[in-house]
Amino acid sequence: MKGIAPALACVLTAGTLEAQSGPQYHRLQLDCSTYRQSVHSTIELESRGQRSRETSERDGRLRLRAEARDTLIQLEAWFDSLVVAREGAGERLVPETDGLIGGRYAGLLTRSGGFTSTETPFIPDDVAQVADVSDALVELLPPLPPVPLQPGAGWRDGFGTVIQRMPDGTRDGRRVERYRLTRRLEREERRLLPDSSEVVAQRRESERGSYEWAPDVGLVRWERTITVDVEVPAGEVVKQPFRTRIQQQVTVARVAAGEGCR
């Protein structure tokens, strides 16, 4: 991160509105689009010198509708295919997802990628116990830099997010802009134990990845690795400290256009 600090103050140049404000989401990029979203998670729990490990997988196709709402974009999305699985302690669970297919996610998207969820479909218990799919639309689209960046330049916010533009590339014959995204977050949070006791935990999150952007269709591909560490120290309620680590490999790829509204 230190190497990009001199480039964080970017000079805006005259030109189109998009050039003046950097890449932006638009309704026409998203309406009737389809994205494949794949998540592979590893969950490790360490307590009293013992460790347990589980893995979970999620792979599905999300179709989108988009409508303009003043300066925002109203998004509606649903899975047309979805597979989830969880494996641990010698057992593999693969529940049916038919009860979730077609269920609507909805929310409001800003031009720079800020998203507020307004609706989440009913998630059957057997699916919820295997994989978290409530965040499917929340985690679909990356944040964008609010200023134009030349290759090698970067931007950061006040909450631990850094976006750096890398050299342009190509994907399926289309020229794409490439961006590196990193985020770090640390905070205290309260958690309930199985006996309903409340404890204070220390949560640390880090993310690193990159995405590809084409002005005509928007997001083309987003790959990232997310690590979450939660530590609960020994105390009055907790006799032995324990730690949970979750590592996720997430890929979002635009796979089709014109199918999402059928």
Q: How far is CA 114 from CA 34, 66, 210, in A?
A: 20, 15, 17
Q: How far is CA 20 from CA 132, 145, 146, 156, in A?
A: 38, 12, 9, 18
Residue 2 is assigned to a structural domain of this protein: no
Distance, CA of 224 to CA of 218 (rounded, Å): 18
Cβ pair 97, 85 in contact under 8 A: no
Q: 3-class secondary structure for 185-240?
A: EEEEEEEECCCCCEEEEEEEEEEEEEEEEECCCEEEEEEEEEEEEEEECCCCCCCC
Residue 236 is assigned to a structural domain of this protein: yes
Residue 262 is assigned to a structural domain of this protein: no
Residue 168 is assigned to a structural domain of this protein: yes
Mean pLDDT of 65-91: 95
Domain that holds residue 161: 21-257
Cβ pair 88, 77 in contact under 8 A: no
Q: What tokens does 165 get?
A: 């533009």
Residue 174 sits in a domain of what CATH number?
2.30.230
Distance, CA of 252 to CA of 115 (rounded, Å): 16
| The pLDDT of residue 13 | 29
**Over the stretch 85-118, which tens digit does the pLDDT of each residue have?**
999 888 999 999 999 999 999 999 999 999 999 9
237 — pLDDT class (breaks 50, 70, 90)? low
Q: Which residues are within 8 A (CB) of 27 and not within 5 positions of it... i.e. 6 or more apart?
A: 66, 67, 68, 73
Residue 138 is assigned to a structural domain of this protein: yes
Total domains in the chain come to: 1
Q: pTM of this prediction?
A: 0.84
| The pLDDT of residue 257 | 56
| The pLDDT of residue 196 | 66
| The pLDDT of residue 8 | 36
Residue 44 is assigned to a structural domain of this protein: yes
**Over the stretch 16-60, which tens digit does the pLDDT of each residue have?**
444 456 899 999 999 999 999 999 999 998 877 788 999 999 999
Report the chain's mean pLDDT, rounded to a whole number.
87
Residue 246 is assigned to a structural domain of this protein: yes
Amino acid at 247: Q
Cβ pair 245, 227 in contact under 8 A: yes
pLDDT exceeds cutoff 60 at 220: yes
- Phi and psi dihedrals of 165, rounded to 5? -85, 130
- The DSSP H or E segment spanning 30 is helix 27-30
Residue 114 is assigned to a structural domain of this protein: yes
